[in-house]
Amino acid sequence: MYQINSQASPDPMNEELKCIHCGNSCGKLPFLFEGNPFCCSGCSTVYQILNTNQLKQYYQIEQMPGIRIEDEKRPSDETYAFLDLEKFKSKILTFSEGDISKVSFFIPEIHCASCIWLLENLHSLNPGVIQSFVNFPKKEINITFKDSEISLRQLVELLISIHYIPEISQHSIEKTPSDQLDKKLFLKIGIAAFSFINAMIYHFPQYLPGHEFLETDIKHMFGWLSILLAIPVLTFSASDYFLTAFKSLKKGIISIDLPIALGLITLFTQSIVEILSERGIGYIDSLTGLTFFMLIGRWYQGKTYQALSFERDYKTYFPLAVTKITDLGNETIALEDLKAGDRILVRNQEIIPADSILKSGTASIDYSFVTGESMPVAKQTGDFVFAGGRQIGSAIELTIEKEVQQSYLTQLWNQTENPYTVNNRLNTIVNRVSQYFTIIVVLIAISSGIFWLVNKPEIALFSFTSVLIIACPCALALTVPFTFGSTIRQFGRKGFYLKNTAVIEHLFKVDTVVFDKTGTITNAQSSDIRFVGKELDSVQLQQIKSLVFHSSHPLSKTIYNSIESDELLEVKEFQEITSLGITGLINGSRINIGSRYFVSGEKTEDEKLNTEVWVYLQGSVAGCFQLENEYRPGLKSLIQKLERTHEIHLLTGDNDAEKARLTEYFSVAENLHFNHTPTDKLNYIRKLQKNGRKVLMIGDGLNDAGALNESNVGIVIADNVFNFSPACDAILQSNQFGKLHRFIGFTRQSINIVKAGFLISFLYNLVGLSFAVQGNLTPIVAAILMPISSVSVVVFASFSVHLTAKRKLK
């Protein structure tokens, strides 16, 4: 289940050479080293490093295990300079004493056995590394190293040199205590299991015929040992049930934990009374068994995807440090020390940390994390630059306008909590049922007590406690964890990852679906391309292809891929002019490709509808390539199916150029909203909720973060689920986009299975109660009925989810 490999698999039909490092196509001009083909110089460099260090086994454990980093994505040499500063070092290191330091990094790229092998052999690459240990499910590496031989910065650069880029951010250095919680739950389960098994052994002889001949000494011993076993279960293993029951009672809510706590306490007191008065052995086996089953349910429900993070905010994304330009030279300062008015340097591939103004250099900023738009935006000196973009190209100088906390983007996270979603969180199906359940059980207990008080006073108290014991809603409490726990697992196998089980119920209640446009319903990776202008012949196309081959700009790559031509021509005097275009000589004739201004000299002020790339060749402007976003496959049928059951809205920051095209997909044109800022999106969601709507927001970038947070359920679409995505309730792998309606539909099945599970446990309760109200409940009835009801509900829930998923989630 951990092998979620989202790397694009190479086309098997393609006979082209594949890079032996990363498996990507090498194209027509592979880089060769020792006769091995590589797609790029980066891959071949890694191969050479591993080769000289005798680590070629990397390529034998798995085929083509390597990671490709495109040249322009490589962090600059100075990016990690801040790791040399004591201030950051002490924050990042998990342990440091004398010469020995320990550190742990999250590396999203870890994906196979070869990765584990190579990363655990880091000491072969640098003797300063003492030991490295990979935690595969968490995609984490723990490294112990000698400070004197390799510095933290060198260690990080070592990892980058073999293309494993660790994620170092504000968020990753704040330690999370979730491990500790997990450990505690395991201990609770272990102790409950220990007590359960031993208590069963002590109880069992007394369920057999002839137990009345057992010596009283032995009975005594068994009784006392049982009590001893029950104490740690009650005080440690089951402590959470008492705590939450008490807490919610204080808030005036009857939660499922209340009848559980009530049942456990009654079980324990009744057992002590019976054992001390030598009337019997009590119900300790049932008590410990119940606790054990319920804890197992809690564990099953709580198991989550360790490598995925649903809580990320801008801190995960922003750097820890920035380079400040002072009169004395460059200085590395912490992000939180950045003040308005500071001048900073942003290098290739670095993130702009705060809203600022461009002072020098030409910026080409990639906002794909923010807006989902994959084309970089060009900025000129004096332009205002929003935080969150990634600079591509040479270093730029910025003057900070607003501090990080006040920046437009970060403010989306500082919103107050939404009252509509908070109330919702408590209103779960199990809480609603348990309210009635608890009241009815207490009523039955009291009335049967009163009945016997009149008719046969000596068993009145016993029948009262019996009802509370047998009605302990263990089966009820197990239905939801196992149904929803199985549902989460089934979804995970299909590429839909939920934050926790509560999301299933919220998803079921949703009646309105709001889509973001760019990056969500459009495919950021590919676009429709067409040429407008003079007809181009094959030689001209060949020339264009040859020229764009030399540029690393995403648009050049799109054009390159769209032209089918085998040979490349020689390009002379190639020049790339940042944010304008490229130029070169082919066969003595000049070709310019780039912006309209660059190619034709005309400045256009009108809003661009589409992305355009103009071409000048053979002495005249030939025309332009127009790029249109391509919608994700399956969008049409998805919308059609969802429109039957849900109201569909679309929010986008773009202008309404695409409106006509979008109305082909969305039938209600009034629900398409354009020119929405991130805050508008957020307010729109609130407005819908104010009208009683339960909203599902589907987005992808940081600009949706506010809306995702506000909505009842926020789903993020991601090409690679391990890469950065804003805080949300669920992550959907982009290739599963067309199946979204099935996942939403499946939640209805899950709820139905829960209801059926409730019915089963009510039937068991009916049987048990018929014993209890008559005052006939014996330990053996409890010992048989309670485990059977729990196990049968667990089996029913897991199997029905599994079978339904097979039919519905193909």
Partner 1 sequence: MSVVFILVFVAIIMAGAFLIAFVWAVKSGQYEDTYTPSVRILFDDQEIKESENSQKITKEKGEKEKQEVISV
Interface positions with partner 1 (CB under 8 A) = 2, 54-55, 57, 60-62, 113, 116-117, 120, 124, 134-138, 179, 182-183, 186-187, 190-191, 194, 197-198, 201, 215, 218, 221, 225
Q: How far is the CB of 221 from partner 1 (least distance, A)?
A: 7
The smaller minimum CB distance to partner 1, of residues 135 and 349, is found at 135
**Beta partners for residue 326, in sequence order:** 329
The smaller minimum CB distance to partner 1, of residues 21 and 676, is found at 21
Q: How far is the CB of 161 from partner 1 (least distance, A)?
A: 19
Output the CA–CA distances (angstroms, integers) from residue 84 to 76, 80, 244, 345, 756, in the order listed.
Answer: 15, 8, 47, 18, 60
Q: How far is the CB of 364 from partner 1 (least distance, A)?
A: 40
Biggest distance spanned by C-alpha atoms of the chain: 114
CA 694 to chain centre: 22
Torsion of CA 24, 29, 33, 37, to 10 degrees: 40
Separation of alpha carbons 504 and 498, rounded Å: 8
Instruction: Report which of 526, 529, 587, 575 is spatially closest to residue 551, judged by C-alpha positions.
Output: 575
Separation of alpha carbons 719 and 368, rounded Å: 12
The smaller minimum CB distance to partner 1, of residues 116 and 585, is found at 116
Separation of alpha carbons 332 and 353, rounded Å: 14
Q: How far is the CB of 334 from partner 1 (least distance, A)?
A: 31
The smaller minimum CB distance to partner 1, of residues 182 and 511, is found at 182
Separation of alpha carbons 748 and 703, rounded Å: 31
Q: How far is the CB of 60 from partner 1 (least distance, A)?
A: 5
Output the CA–CA distances (angstroms, integers) from residue 326 to 332, 337, 360, 397, in the order listed.
Answer: 10, 14, 15, 12
The smaller minimum CB distance to partner 1, of residues 111 and 676, is found at 111
Q: How far is the CB of 140 from partner 1 (least distance, A)?
A: 9
Q: How far is the CB of 95 from partner 1 (least distance, A)?
A: 15
The alpha carbon dihedral of 721, 726, 727, 733 has a sign of negative
CA 113 to chain centre: 22
Q: Which amino acid is at 527?
A: S
Alpha helices of 496-624 — where are they, by DSSP H? Answer: 502-509, 538-548, 554-562, 596-600
Number of H helices, E strands in the chain: 29, 28
Separation of alpha carbons 496 and 310, rounded Å: 13
The smaller minimum CB distance to partner 1, of residues 118 and 475, is found at 118
Classify residue 417 by its DSSP letter: P
- As a residue count, the chain comes to 810
Region class of 282: left (phi > 0), else alpha (psi between -120 and 50), else beta: left
Q: How far is the CB of 267 from partner 1 (least distance, A)?
A: 22
Taking the CA atoms of the chain, what radius of gyration do you get in angstroms?
A: 32
The smaller minimum CB distance to partner 1, of residues 234 and 261, is found at 234
Q: How far is the CB of 196 from partner 1 (least distance, A)?
A: 11
The smaller minimum CB distance to partner 1, of residues 215 and 607, is found at 215
In a 13 Å sphere around the CA of 15, the CA atoms on its Cβ side amount to: 0
Region class of 792: left (phi > 0), else alpha (psi between -120 and 50), else beta: alpha
The smaller minimum CB distance to partner 1, of residues 221 and 450, is found at 221
Q: How far is the CB of 124 from partner 1 (least distance, A)?
A: 7
Q: How far is the CB of 308 from partner 1 (least distance, A)?
A: 15
**Beta partners for residue 716, in sequence order:** 699, 731
The smaller minimum CB distance to partner 1, of residues 215 and 670, is found at 215
The smaller minimum CB distance to partner 1, of residues 188 and 390, is found at 188
Q: Which amino acid is at 43?
A: C
Classify residue 234 by its DSSP letter: I
The smaller minimum CB distance to partner 1, of residues 222 and 317, is found at 222
Classify residue 149 by its DSSP letter: T
The smaller minimum CB distance to partner 1, of residues 132 and 374, is found at 132
At 655, phi and psi to the nearest 5?
Answer: -80, 175
Instruction: Report which of 194, 215, 195, 193 is spatially closest to residue 205, judged by C-alpha positions.
Output: 215
Write down the residue that tokens 């137990």 correspond to: 211
Q: How far is the CB of 232 from partner 1 (least distance, A)?
A: 10
The smaller minimum CB distance to partner 1, of residues 132 and 466, is found at 132
C-beta separation of 486 from 504 below 8 A: no
Q: How far is the CB of 215 from partner 1 (least distance, A)?
A: 5
Q: How far is the CB of 558 from partner 1 (least distance, A)?
A: 35
Separation of alpha carbons 495 and 491, rounded Å: 6
